[in-house]
Structure 1
Amino acid sequence: MTQWNVPGHPGAEGQQPPPYGYPPAAAGGPPAYGPPAYGPPPAPYGPGYPPPYGYPVARRTNGLAIAAMVLGILWIYWIGSILALVFGYTARSQIRERGEAGDGMAIAGIVLGWVGVGFIGLALVAGIASTV
C-alpha cells in the first residue's frame, strides 16, 4: 500500500494525495479524502445549535414615529392631529436616513392625523353652514 507524503517515509517524495471528494479506486487503491461524493457534508454545529455569530441586533425605533402614532390616536383638542402629521413626516425622513425601525407607526400617525384634520374641516363646514 502506498503512503502519501509522510515525512521520512521512503518513496513519499513527489507523490500527492488525491483531490477532495476523489472516489476510491478499485480495491487496494488510494483512500478517498473528505466526505463521500453522494451527499452534502454534515452541518458544522449540528441541529438545534445557534449559529456561531450570535443573534441579530434589533434596530432602534424612531421616537417621532411613536409620538406621531400616539398623537394621531389621541387627537388632543385636534392640535394632536396636526402634530401627528408634522412628527409623522419628519419621522419617515429620519427613518430613511438612519435606517431605523418604526415606519409603520409613522404612517399610522400620518393617516390618523389626516383623519383628524378631515374632522376639523367637517366641523368648520358644519359650523359655518349652521350660522347661515
Structure 2
Amino acid sequence: MRVSHADRERAVDVLKAGFAEGRLTQPEYETRMTRAYKAQTYGELHLLVGDLPQGIHHPQTPRGFGPPMAPAVPQTFLPTPAPPTNSSAVASLVCGALVPMVGITCIPAVILGHKARAEIKRTGESGDGMAVAGMVIGYLAIGTVAFILLIVAMVASSSA
C-alpha cells in the first residue's frame, strides 16, 4: 500500500526520536532519513523504523493478533488537540452580526460577550476573538443609538 506525505513525516519523527535517544548513529540517521523521504510503500517505511520502539503501524495489520503495537509516533510529536470553542462566544458574535437587521440584539451581544470571556478565562476554551467582536459590535450599536437619541433630544429642545 502506498504511503502519504503524512506517513513519511510520522516515520521521520520516529527516526528523530530514535536519534535523540541515542538509538541511531549520525550516518545511520541521515541514511534512514533520506530513504524515508523516498519511500513509496508502508513496507519500505517499516524497514526503516521497525527496529525502533515507536515503529509505524501498518494499516492492514489486524488488531488483537500478536503483541500490542506501539503508537506510530511518540506522544511528544503528536499535535495537541484544539480546545473547543465557547458557545457563548459564538452566540455573542451571531447577535452582533444580527444588529443591522434586528437592532435589539446589541444588548445580548454585549452580555454574552462578557459571559463568554469569563468562561474562556476559567475553562481555557477558544473563541475569545468572537466574544470581543460581538461585544464591540454591541457597544458600537448601543453608542450609536445613544448618540442619535442625544441629537434628537437636542434638536427637539432647541425647536421648542
TM-score range, shorter chain: 0.5 to 0.7
Give the whole-Å Cα distance in 2 for the aligned partners of 1:40 and 1:120.
71
Task: Name the structure 2 match of 1:129.
Answer: 154
TM-score, L = length of structure 2: 0.51
* Pairing 1:1-132 to 2, within 5 Å after superposition: 35-36=25-26, 41-42=29-30, 46-47=36-37, 52=73, 53=75, 55-75=79-99, 77-132=102-157
Q: Flag the 1:60–1:128 CA change in 2: closer, same or farther, 3 A.
A: same
TM-aligned CA distance change 1:34 to 1:55, over 3 Å: closer
Percent identity between the two aligned chains: 29
- Length-normalised TM-score, structure 1: 0.60
List runs of 5+ in structure 1 lacking aligned partners.
1-32
RMSD over aligned Cα atoms:
3.2
Secondary structure of 2:126's counterpart equals: coil
Identify the structure with the greater helix proportion: 2
What code does the residue aligned with 1:99 have?
G
| Runs of 4+ off more than 3 Å | 39-44, 46-51, 53-56
Are the aligned partners of 1:78 and 1:117 in contact in 2 as well (CA < 8 Å)?
A: no
SS of 2:29 mapped into structure 1: coil
Count of residue correspondences: 98
Specify the SS of the correspondent of 1:60.
coil
Q: Which of the pair has more CA radius of gyration?
A: 1
Write the distance in 1 (CA, Å) between the matches of 2:112 and 2:104: 12
